[in-house]
């Protein structure tokens, strides 16, 4: 088939004889490969993978193919390897044809971007709010309980709407429109999920499953920006961007963050934050962190003061706008 695409094939095969056969088939498609060592993760990965090759018992879906040693003509989408390798490749090709014919490109889902700071004071929140303002109908999600609140950046602190602790995400599917309808929304149509301005210590903090549910619901369309620590980056993420200045300790921190993202098979990149001085170049940070620079974020004179007094300006400074455009171009979002 050799049909190249960025949508991965997940391989969840424990059998030591079947595993290399499954990897060989997946590699032949030209797609990225996600290895899933824990069957508990399989249901979540099924949603975002092009196809799943597994020898485990799991929820049957049109993109799940069961791998066995013995031919089983009675069970749909079951293939004996290596005997039926050609048939499996043909089935993967047929799946691709079905998806491209039945699903218009515009309806294949939205883009989820996670921003993680390699250290403090690098402007992650401002960058996230800026990306949200540039992408029409975007949603900005705050995962830092002590950040001060992203609603302040967009002038929404007094706007009615749900905050963390006031919305519940159960096990069922949640419509994107329902989530956005519950949240405060800016004049330029950015919906924000942040923390209440409470003096009490018992405010409910988002857990990984909460962020997963939000990303899955909001990621069905438009652009969703998550300002979260690396531990809360969801599996449903098109790009996790580590914001890092050209400094040694920050680069070392970025390397650890990238390793965590890679372990979860989350696509990652770097936003190189230019400060007044740098001990490392962008290329050196790339080498240390083992990731590529997607955007360079330069200092914008007077922006900190403007944000403090009046929130993020309607018209972004040119250096910031260029960085935002680079990120949206990377994920194929609106530019």
Rounded CA separation 91/67 (Å):
13
226 φ, ψ (degrees, to nearest 5): -110, 120
- Cα-Cα-Cα-Cα dihedral sign, residues 32, 51, 36, 80: negative
User: Residue 204 pLDDT more than 80?
Assistant: no
Domains defined along the chain, listed by start: 9-102 (3.40.50), 110-332 (3.40.50.300)
User: Residue 57 pLDDT more than 70?
Assistant: yes
Rounded CA separation 160/156 (Å):
8
pLDDT in tens, 206-235: 888 889 889 988 998 999 999 999 999 998
pTM above 0.85, yes or no: no
193 φ, ψ (degrees, to nearest 5): -110, 110
The gap from C-alpha 230 to its chain's centroid, in whole angstroms, comes to 11
Residue 145 to residues 139, 191, 203, Cα–Cα distance (Å): 18, 18, 9
What pLDDT does residue 141 have? 96
What pLDDT does residue 38 have? 75
pLDDT in tens, 86-121: 889 888 888 877 766 544 443 347 999 999 999 988
Q: Residue 184: which region, alpha, beta or left (left: phi > 0; alpha: psi -120 to 50)?
A: beta
- 200 CB contacts (<8 Å, ≥6 apart)? none
What pLDDT does residue 8 have? 85
Helix (H) / strand (E) containing 117: strand 111-117
Is the separation of the CB atoms in 182 and 162 below 8 Å? Answer: yes
Intra-chain end-to-end CA distance of the chain, in Å? 32
CA triple 154-179-316, angle to 5 deg: 25
Strands 64-68 and 139-142: unpaired
């Amino acid at each position: 088939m050799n049909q190249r695409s960025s949508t991965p094939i997940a391989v969840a095969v424990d059998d030591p004889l079947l595993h290399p056969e499954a990897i060989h088939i997946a590699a032949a498609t030209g797609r990225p490969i996600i290895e899933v060592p824990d069957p508990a993760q399989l249901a979540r990965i099924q949603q975002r993978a092009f196809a799943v090759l597994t020898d485990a018992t799991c929820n049957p879906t049109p993109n799940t193919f069961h791998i066995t040693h013995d031919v089983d003509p009675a069970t749909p989408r079951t293939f004996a390897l290596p005997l039926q390798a050609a048939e499996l490749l043909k089935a993967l090709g047929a799946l691709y044809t079905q998806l491209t014919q039945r699903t218009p490109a515009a309806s294949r889902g939205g883009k989820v971007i996670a921003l993680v700071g390699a250290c403090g004071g690098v402007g992650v929140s401002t960058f996230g709010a800026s990306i949200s303002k540039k992408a029409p109908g975007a949603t900005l999600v705050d995962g830092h309980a002590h950040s001060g609140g992203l609603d302040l950046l967009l002038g929404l602190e007094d706007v009615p709407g749900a905050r963390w602790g006031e919305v519940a995400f159960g096990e069922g599917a949640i419509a994107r429109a329902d989530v956005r309808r519950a949240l405060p929304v800016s004049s330029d149509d950015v919906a924000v999920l942040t923390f209440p301005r409470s003096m009490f210590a018992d405010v409910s903090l988002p857990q990984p499953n909460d962020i997963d549910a939000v990303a899955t619901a909001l990621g069905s369309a438009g652009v969703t920006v998550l300002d979260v620590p690396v531990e809360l980056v969801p599996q449903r993420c098109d790009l996790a961007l580590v914001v890092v200045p050209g400094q040694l300790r920050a680069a070392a921190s970025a390397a650890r963050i990238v390793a965590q993202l890679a372990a979860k098979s989350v696509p990652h990149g770097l936003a190189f934050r230019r400060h007044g001085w740098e001990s490392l170049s962008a290329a050196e940070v790339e080498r240390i962190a083992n990731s590529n620079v997607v955007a360079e974020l330069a200092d914008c004179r007077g922006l900190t003061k403007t944000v403090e007094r009046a929130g993020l300006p309607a018209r972004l400074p040119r250096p910031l706008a260029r960085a935002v455009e680079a990120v949206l171009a990377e994920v194929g979002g609106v530019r």
